[in-house]
Amino acid sequence: MRSWQRAQFTARGLTTRCVEKIALSLTAALRRLLPRLAALLFASCAMLTAMPSHAEADVPPLGRSQFDYLIGQAPVPFPFAHLLQLINAQLAPELGLPPVKVTLIPLGRSLQRGAGAPDFFRYPRVVLAVDGEAKAGQVALKDRLFLGYHEKAGVLEVISYNEAAGRFEFQVVQDYRAGARPKIYYARREICLSCHQNQAPMFARPLWDETSANPAIAARLKAAGGDFYGLKLTGTDVAYLIDAATKRANLIPVWQRIWLEGCGEGEAGDACRSALFSAALRYGFSGVLPDATMLKQLAPGLDQRFAQRWPRGFAIPNPDLPNRDPLALLAGNEIDLAREGLPSELATLAHIPARVEPLNVRPPLEVWAGPEKARLIVGLASLLDRSDLQALDQGLAANASGQPQQSVALSCRIRYKDAARRASLRCAGQGARLAAALYFQGRKAQGRVSEMIVSGALAPTALTLSGDTPRVGRAAHLTFRRDGLRARLADGRVLEQLVLLPRTTEEGPATLFIRDDFARVNAALQKMTPGPGGPFQARLWMAQLAEALGLPYPQHAARAMPPIQVQPSVAALVGGSGMQDSFRRYCGQCHDTGEPFPPNFLQGEAAQLTAKIDHCAERIFYRLSMWAVPENKRGKTPMPPTSALRQHGFDAERWARAPELAGLRAYVTQRLAAEGDPQRLLRQPFESLRRCIPPAAAHAYP
Ligand code: HEC
Ligand code: HEC
């Protein structure tokens, strides 16, 4: 066994052993009682599992997916509109677009690409992303729950985050149809990762021409006349927001690796994580990033350890697929599909050229030379629940009287505009500066701060002001807010009030009241070093912080879960010939499944296998032959996909020359010889080749 391969297997073995050991020593009930102990115990296992390796287990190494938490033991709500309701019920209502974003993809590149045939526009795939905050006490789903649904396949694909393991889980709900009892499986991760190479969701680049954002697709969907589960046809705005959610989700495993491996182990690692949590918390509260000098001083050991851990830089996995307009193919295509008896237009539409196939290995999005601390802080802060921040803020406000209030004397100018319906306010003094726009409605004033700095600490730009309309000789009280929280400066101090005392309509003194309740938070953070171990779990950290502050913290109601089920794995080969064994080894992982797609031509008894391979032989020959064709000339992606070669100890270049490949190809060549020179197949369009599975056995999949 090659050394890296051995390392992978040991890692897998270690993880399993480690988790087994812990499972033995801790029952689930005990784990709930002792989250801290459990977190520490799990930390070492989590270190192993957070390392992307294609040897990752299908079963969560620990914890469960957010989808499991959402569903619990109840059946998955059906129809889809009911599932949507369940998701929406967890989310805080938003102004503007709803917190769940949905688009329709009739002709896509997912595993459900063929499920709608031949009524692609009547049965589009639904893709859903949650990008809104959860209600207080509910599981966080923002950027952490993604679904793909196909009515005709009766399948729901799920990618959702596992907080305890710090990774995304891939699940499949089968029999998701009327009158059936849906079954939830953890998918064979390896199959999913052959396209989801980022171990996370992914999406096309703009202009998202496969989705209903493409007017020509939307027009055909409308013409097909379905009600599409009560969903509205959405445009580029929604496609853009789904894309943005997949991009943020893509980075969550990156934050976790920097958190675990970048900070490292031991006391130094703990100190690094505490510093990062404290920075993320301050950013979550204030909305202002530390300046360059402060960033440099933050977690100083991190830069050095990052350089040691990733000497050639940290490659960021790419969640972006090339854009593809399926209708563009229609123009001037001459595929002859008489043999298949399918209307040629439909097969043409479903054709996916190798160039845009998601199985292609995507080069990294970028390579980070350092820990990108500013992005890391924003990323970690995005994992904090807004309702947690609000609760903590309220707790601090209720106990604020013990902290001294600071006051800053300012002198202000007011310039009225628009018949005194609005004004600009500028104040300065004692190292502070403020500029805001005010709008008046009778005695009430509203406003927005455009610029503010107090003794070197910036305020965020999104601050709102509300209170009294200034009048000569009277104190006007104005309070600051941000995103449902009290407003804070970059250093965490609360901006409590601005009291304006106009001497004339144009100017007057003012006092800015500030309170440093963050000093209390900082002291509590000190007290809780080290914080919870393992991947960054915002709720564990917030619970511990609340405890150190003596504030209550709402626990999520514990949820009973059904046992974990994994999609049935490759059948043990009994009595297979050498060649069958070879096919099973290199192809079985994805083609010996209970699923109709990718075609499961290797499924079944050994005795039937030869006939099954024979039936698919034309397409197998084509795909195996692609290895000899230069990449930019390939009609279709070669098989097995490059991402699957690693586990066999090959890279693409070595596989292309390997005797194992030659053996597989020689076998199908010989099986096809009676039908004429197989080489001719390569000059035909792929879609015109005999289908892998006879139509009767293929459940309407093309
Ligand atoms: C052949 C490539 C391919 C494979 C294999 C694959 N997917 Fe996907 N998947 C896609 C593409 C392309 C998209 C984005 C566009 C779309 O949904 O049509 C996608 C999107 C998704 C989405 C919606 C969120 C997102 O990432 O945009 C979910 C959920 C999903 N896949 C789950 C799975 C699961 C679970 C598996 C394994 C059982 C899997 N996928 C395997 C290609 C694939
Ligand atoms: C890691 C998963 C994986 C492995 C391993 C794999 N395939 Fe595939 N295969 C896929 C996926 C996904 C598709 C569908 C996407 C496509 O058509 O490219 C596919 C498509 C195919 C098709 C086209 C099916 C059709 O009806 O159009 C053939 C033929 C095929 N594979 C043959 C093979 C052979 C032969 C091997 C082994 C030498 C192999 N595959 C190994 C994932 C895999």
Q: What is the tens place of the pLDDT at every residue in 508-553? A: 999 999 999 999 999 999 999 899 999 999 999 999 999 999 999 9
Please tell me the predicted confidence (pLDDT) of residue 276: 97
pLDDT of 377 > 90? The answer is yes
The residue assigned the tokens 């995507």 is 362
What is the 175 CA–ligand 2 centroid distance (Å)?
24
Please tell me the predicted confidence (pLDDT) of residue 462: 84
Q: Which ligand is nearest to the CA of 143?
A: 1
Q: Which residue has the higher pLDDT, 56 or 353?
A: 353
pLDDT, tens digit, for every residue of 420-443?
999 999 999 999 999 999 999 999
pLDDT of 445 > 70? The answer is yes
Classify burial at 142, counting beta carbons within 10 Å of its beta carbon; exposed 0-12, middle 13-18, buried 19 or more.
buried
Q: Which residue has the higher pLDDT, 219 or 32?
A: 219
Cα distance between residue 392 and residue 284, in whole Å: 11
Q: Which residues line ligand 1 (CB under 6 A)?
A: 105, 108-111, 125, 127, 146-148, 157-159, 170-172, 187, 191-192, 194-196, 201-203, 246, 321, 358-359
pLDDT of 694 > 70? The answer is yes
Who contacts 530 (Cβ-Cβ below 8 Å, separation ≥6)? 267, 270, 271, 273, 274
Query: Do the Cβ atoms of 595 and 677 come closer than 8 Å?
Result: no
What is the 635 CA–ligand 2 centroid distance (Å)?
14
What is the 180 CA–ligand 2 centroid distance (Å)?
30
The residue assigned the tokens 């990618």 is 159
User: For ligand 1, atom 32, which residue shows the shortest CA distance?
Assistant: 157
Classify burial at 173, counting beta carbons within 10 Å of its beta carbon; exposed 0-12, middle 13-18, buried 19 or more.
buried
Average pLDDT over the chain reads: 88
Handedness of CA 568, 569, 575, 580 (dihedral sign): positive
Residue among 195, 591, 625 whose CB has most ligand 2 atoms within 8 A, to mutate: 591
What is the 589 CA–ligand 2 centroid distance (Å)?
10
For residue 201, which of 143, 149, 140, 137 has the smallest C-alpha distance? 143
User: For ligand 2, atom 7, which residue shows the shortest CA distance?
Assistant: 640
Please tell me the predicted confidence (pLDDT) of residue 395: 93
Please tell me the predicted confidence (pLDDT) of residue 295: 95
pLDDT of 35 > 50? The answer is no
Cα torsion through 78, 80, 85, 86, rounded to 10: 60
Query: Do the Cβ atoms of 494 and 477 come closer than 8 Å?
Result: no
pLDDT of 10 > 50? The answer is no
What is the 217 CA–ligand 1 centroid distance (Å)?
20
Tokens matching residue 366: 């970028």
Handedness of CA 602, 603, 607, 611 (dihedral sign): negative
Confidence of residue 327 (pLDDT cuts 50, 70, 90): confident
For residue 284, which of 419, 386, 151 has the smallest C-alpha distance? 386
Q: Which residue has the higher pLDDT, 1 or 299?
A: 299
Residue % of the chain over a pLDDT of 90: 76
Q: Which residues line ligand 2 (CB under 6 A)?
A: 190-191, 194, 357, 359, 586-587, 589-591, 598-599, 616, 619-620, 623-624, 636-637, 639-641, 644, 664, 691-692
User: For ligand 1, atom 37, which residue shows the shortest CA distance?
Assistant: 192
- Give the amino acid at 131: D
pLDDT, tens digit, for every residue of 641-672?
999 999 999 999 999 999 999 999 999 999 99
What is the 196 CA–ligand 1 centroid distance (Å)?
7
pLDDT of 14 > 90? The answer is no
Query: Do the Cβ atoms of 385 and 539 come closer than 8 Å?
Result: yes
Please tell me the predicted confidence (pLDDT) of residue 595: 85
User: For ligand 1, atom 36, which residue shows the shortest CA distance?
Assistant: 192
Half-sphere exposure of 606 (CA within 13 A, CB side): 12
pLDDT, tens digit, for every residue of 334-349?
444 344 444 556 667 7
